Amino acid sequence: MNAYFTVFRMRWKMELQYRGAVIGGVVCQVFFGLILVSLYRALYASKPQTMPIEAVASYVWLQQAFFRMQLSSDSELMDKIRTGGIAYDLCRPLDLYGYYYVRILAQKLLGSLLRAAPMLVFAFLLPRGVGLGLPVSLPALAAFLMCLTAGLLCTCALENLTMAFTMRTLDSRGVQAMLNLLMMILSGNVLPLTLYPDSWQKVITLLPYAQVLDTPIRIYTGQYALADVPRALLIQLAWVLLLVWAGESMWRRHQKRLIIQGG
Amino acid sequence: MDTIRLYIKSMRMLMKSQLQYPASFLMQTLAQLVMEGGEMLAVILIVDRFDRLNQWMPGDLYFFFGLMSVTFYLTEVFGRGVTGAFPGMVRSGQLDTLLLRPRGVLTQTLCSAIDPRRFACIAVGTAALALGSRLSRISWTPLKGLLLAESVLFGMLLILGLFMIEAVFCIYSVKSVELVNAITYGGRSACQYPIDIYARPLRVLFTVAAPFALVMHVPAAYILDKPLYGWPAWTAFVCPLAGAGVFAVMYLVFRRAMRHYRSTGS
Amino acid sequence: MAFIEAEGLTKTFTVRKKREKGRLLREKTRVKALDSLNFTIEKGELVGYIGPNGAGKSTTVKLLSGILTPDGGTARVNGLVPWEQRRQHVKRIGVVFGQRSQLWWDVPILDSFDLLRDIYQVPEADYRRRLSELTEALRLEEFLRTPLRLLSLGQRMRAELCGSLLHGPELLFLDEPTIGLDAVSKLALRDFLKQENARHGTTVLLTTHDMEDIAALCSRVMVLGHGRKLFDGALPDLLQRYDTRRIITLRYDGDAALPDLPAGCACAEEGEGYRIDYSPDQIPTAKLIALLQGAGNIRELTAQPQNIDHLIAAMYREMDL
């Protein structure tokens, strides 16, 4: 347990050391947020949709603020896989899945908290319909936070599985780029999932990518009513369990194979 | 002339070395294809839901997207030395090696990298241009073709110039890639849609500081037979020169910065 | 006018310190890498340039090759100021960094040379002549068409040398050229450099930590420390100054213990025998041996001068580097 805390502490120190990168990242993300909101406002001016523009603006800002939760970020671990240095870790007597999971969790949690806080404040101060609106109700805010936590657990499990998967492929960089891209498209970062054709949404919202940010944000903006929350949470947790199970068994197989083959 | 020959020769050699790993190359090219395909998908979905954007019809939107895509990724293919490799060259000390040769640093930087994987993106962009041209029923004339080429060419200079901001930061060993990304990649994302959807401050930014609007949107409006934001028709041919202006300014800044270059290592 | 003239060369770097607790901004300190350095080198000289890590050797080379601009002082190489007339200047020099490559990693070295010819705009006839000469001298023939990444370290260094000499430079900077090379490659490299210097009168400035390189190649050596020149002259002169100690190793029959030795002698057990480090000025060698004989039957005894590396280490210590 102690080792896991150390991982968090080290990550925190690292994040603080690269404050310049954090500030730059926030500015960049704010910029992207402004562009996207402008685009959707112009589109809405031509043809309004059922989802109000205020909700779309909130959707965009929450997506940008928690951007860090989506992108695979552990370049150190990726390098290890590419260069084969991962073999050292595989030989270590520790629960690899748990260790990597905590590493990824620390990165995503601390990284996005540090960036989200200033961005949300900024977005909140923008005029209505451009900036971040209030949650539809207080219970909705509570449900949002709960589902965001579930989403975080889900994205970490997803990245861990991806990591295990890329180890088996010839060119991990290409596969990684492809999976990252799938994440960006299917999580609502490129285009809010609420703006996809309605028939597509029925399927897309069930995929693990939608569980990360789309589900929590829909609760925040009121697209999902409070009555829908139990169902949404259930889907999220089902994915978490499934992804953890798949990831864990894959890492275990890697470890076993390495021991049998003797490296 | 000799410089161009050197550049072509370098490119040929770099291509040869990239093709030494065909499997990896194919895989990464495929990833690029899917990536740019995904970007285009976003435009398709927007068109599907909204039908139009201010006075711009679906075909116009594809045309804007395609123009930006082709220009941006042509720059990434042939200007990879500046758009991608330069920071690494400063860190690894490779820049020292360039300084030891009797050629300009920028020339050699451009000669030192190519990124042919991005041809996949250019293919998507070209498809978007073709689609946009059909849907908007563009009546092509030689003059319009010339203007398209001009826009792409000066757009490349503009993008190269913007990436040189990052290069200058690197020379002064300032680490803020994200900040520069806002102007380069952010500029690309913003200006693949027509400029008139943005509020005044952003419009000013993309007209004066990073003049994508002048280099791409004014010529695009001319080609699409739309009013040029109230300007006479001949301005469509003059505006793109702003791209060369940005490049020239950044070139001077870059040269000045090189005087302060402080090499790495012992 | 000398071939290379450096006068008052000064270069300062700003180093950012780690942020201390409670301080918002990082403190900056200025470090003098070079502190008004003066020297001249004549055409055709082979000069060794030594000093501990961080003394400013690489900075000197980078200034003289036009990579860096100094804060103060001037230098002229063959009449040109390197950092002001960089392009003309680098046409006439060649530089080899032992730990950095100037050739292209994934392509045959011949293609690299070909591109270098275009970069330096070497006339075709000169290039042909030079390439065949260097190919023979450096024995490159067998791997001219092999990509750089497949070559051994020794082969790679030979290729690098060829690359930096193709345009026939009058001045060659070598920065740690023998680092990591095996004995055979080292010897071959030294032979080649001597030959190149003799045949073309190439001036060579050699930076190294390998004193054998200096001893084998350089008629003159400059010692740098804390950005200042501490010594400039012939290697034997330098050594003589610090070569005040001798070493005796010996073994007794059976296990006799060492006698008490006078102060100033350092002894250590070494294998089954002893190693004694002493100064003949304090105790004459004959007297020391007599003393040692008194303690038992000596089976084996050798006396030798100090290892050159030890000498240099002693010198750095004395100069407080």
pLDDT digits (tens, 9 = 90+) for C38-95: 999 999 999 999 888 888 888 999 999 999 889 899 999 999 999 999 999 999 999 9
Tell me whether residues C97 and B96 touch, CB distance under 8 A: yes
Pick from A173, A202, A205, A199: which is nearest to A186 by CA? A205
Total count of domains within chain B: 1
Nearest-angstrom CA–CA distance, A46 and B55: 9
Q: What is the signed CA dihedral for A208, A213, A218, A224, rounded to 10 degrees?
A: 40
- Residues of C with Cβ-Cβ distance to B5 under 8 angstroms: 118
Question: pLDDT tens across A47-103, in order?
Answer: 888 889 999 999 999 999 998 888 766 667 777 776 667 777 776 667 778 888 888
C68 touches chain B (CB under 8 A): yes
Task: Decide if pLDDT at A118 tops 80.
Answer: yes
Question: pLDDT tens across C176-212, in order?
Answer: 888 888 888 889 899 999 999 999 999 999 998 888 8
For residues A152 and A162, the model is more confident at: A152
Task: Decide if pLDDT at C22 tops 60.
Answer: no
Tell me whether residues C58 and B262 touch, CB distance under 8 A: no
Which of the four pLDDT bands, split at 50, 70 and 90, describes residue A18?
confident
Which of the four pLDDT bands, split at 50, 70 and 90, describes residue A261?
very low
Nearest-angstrom CA–CA distance, A44 and B197: 11
* Chain A (139-178) residues lying within 8 Å, Cβ to Cβ, of chain B: 170-171, 173-175, 177-178
Tell me whether residues C107 and B13 touch, CB distance under 8 A: yes
pTM more than 0.95: no
DSSP-derived 3-state class of residue C31: strand
**Percentage with pLDDT > 70 across chain B:** 98
Tell me whether residues B46 and A195 touch, CB distance under 8 A: yes
Distance from CA of C262 to the nearest CA of B (A): 43
Pick from B246, B242, B77, B81: which is nearest to B170 by CA? B81
Asked whether residue B13 is domain-assigned, the answer is no
Pick from B162, B144, B128, B155: which is nearest to B216 by CA? B155
pLDDT given for residue B266 in this prediction: 40
pLDDT given for residue C102 in this prediction: 87
C113 touches chain B (CB under 8 A): no
Listed by start position, the domains of chain C span 4-240, 244-305
Give every strand in the sheet of C72-77, ordered side by side: C28-41, C4-16, C72-77
Pick from B53, B63, B107, B109: which is nearest to B84 by CA? B109
Give the tokens for residue B35.
Answer: 């990536």
Please name the chains neighbouring A, where neighbouring means 3+ C-beta pairs under 8 angstroms.
Answer: B
> Average pLDDT of A228-241?
95
Nearest-angstrom CA–CA distance, C18 and B145: 57
Q: Hey, which of A164-168, B27-31, C26-30, C237-241 has the most confident mean pLDDT?
A: B27-31
* Chain C (209-228) residues lying within 8 Å, Cβ to Cβ, of chain B: none
Q: Which of A26-35, C104-113, C153-162, C279-288 has the lowest mean pLDDT?
A: C279-288
> Average pLDDT of C227-250?
84
DSSP-derived 3-state class of residue C156: helix
The answer to whether C37 and C6 have CB atoms below 8 angstroms apart is yes
Distance from CA of B103 to the nearest CA of C (A): 6
Tell me whether residues C118 and B9 touch, CB distance under 8 A: yes
Of B17, B102, B265, Cβ closest to residue C106:
B17
Question: pLDDT tens across C258-279, in order?
Answer: 888 888 788 888 878 888 888 8
pLDDT given for residue A72 in this prediction: 67
ipTM of the complex: 0.89
Query: Which chain C residue's Cα is nearest to B10?
Result: C115
- Residues of B with Cβ-Cβ distance to A38 under 8 angstroms: 197-199, 202
What stretches in chain B show pLDDT beneath 50? Answer: 266
Task: Decide if pLDDT at A170 tops 60.
Answer: no
Task: Decide if pLDDT at A262 tops 50.
Answer: no
Nearest-angstrom CA–CA distance, B54 and C165: 64
Query: Which chain B residue's Cα is nearest to A173?
Result: B28
Query: Which chain A residue's Cα is nearest to B46?
Result: A195
Task: Decide if pLDDT at C171 tops 70.
Answer: yes
- Residues of C with Cβ-Cβ distance to B99 under 8 angstroms: 65-67, 86, 90
Among the CATH numbers 3.20.20.10, 3.40.50.720, 1.10.260.40, 3.40.50.300, which is that of C4-240?
A: 3.40.50.300
pLDDT given for residue C27 in this prediction: 64
A14 touches chain B (CB under 8 A): no
> Average pLDDT of C97-111?
87
- Residues of B with Cβ-Cβ distance to A185 under 8 angstroms: 38, 41-42
Domain that holds residue B140: 29-258
pLDDT given for residue C16 in this prediction: 66
C187 touches chain B (CB under 8 A): no
**Percentage with pLDDT > 90 across chain A:** 47
- Chain position carrying tokens 């230098």: C75
Reported as half-sphere exposure (CB side, CA atoms, 13 A), residue C137 has a value of: 20
